[in-house]
Homo-oligomer: A and B are copies of this chain.
Amino acid sequence: MTTQVIVLNGGSSSGKSGIVRCLQEVLPEPWLAFGVDSLIEAMPGAGTGIEFAADGGVSVGEEFMTLEAAWATGIAAMVHAGARVIVDDVFLGGAATQERWRKVLDGLDVLWVGVRCEAAVAAGREIVRGDRVRGMAERQAEPVHRGVDYDLEVDTTHTEALECARAIARSVINGRWSAVSGSR
């Protein structure tokens, strides 16, 4: 089997989008990249039914969940129609979020990738970016991985995005099982 979807999960400022850009560069075929950021950008204003508290807390309401579910269905349909897709998401619900993606992506070959970054380092990078509500990085660093199963995990704390992307690309090219055995 051949990987059709790469799902990256990690907290805010863990380095997902940098890895995505590198993945698109190093993978031999063209992959489309979508993520929670591009979903929010597609929504009216600053996002529908999502609120960013001053302390970095993020809460999503029913309206957001409904649009997100329809969007995820669309992503799955793109893959069924032949596109290779990289999704980067923040599993605010941990295992429950993964379960929702599993259902949507049912029948597709998915590579699940955890993107970790030490909370303190992610918080520092949040300052470097300068365009995020402070506190998100630290708050999300651990909970988003709770109970989530991965084929592969990368950690950007001490590893460059390009190197992480190369590890993921090897798993894609060599198949998911190499990733699993390599990471255990």
Q: Which residues from chain A sit less than 8 Å from chain B, CB to CB?
A: 18, 21-22, 24-25, 30-34, 38-39, 41-45, 48-49, 63, 66-67, 69-71, 73-83, 121, 124-125, 127-130, 158, 160-163
Chain B residues within an 8 Å CB radius of A45: 24-25, 130
Query: With A71-B78, A76-B77, A82-B70 in contact, do A161 and B128 touch (Cβ < 8 Å)?
Result: yes
Chain B residues within an 8 Å CB radius of A48: 30
* Majority DSSP secondary structure for residues of A touching B: helix
How far, in Å, is A8 (CB) from chain B's closest CB? 14
Chain B residues within an 8 Å CB radius of A160: 121, 124-125, 128
How far, in Å, is A101 (CB) from chain B's closest CB? 14
What are some 25 contacts across the A-B interface (CB < 8 A)?
A18-B128, A21-B128, A22-B124, A22-B128, A25-B44, A30-B44, A30-B49, A30-B63, A30-B67, A32-B42, A32-B71, A38-B38, A45-B130, A66-B82, A66-B83, A67-B83, A71-B78, A73-B77, A73-B78, A73-B80, A74-B77, A125-B160, A125-B161, A125-B162, A127-B162
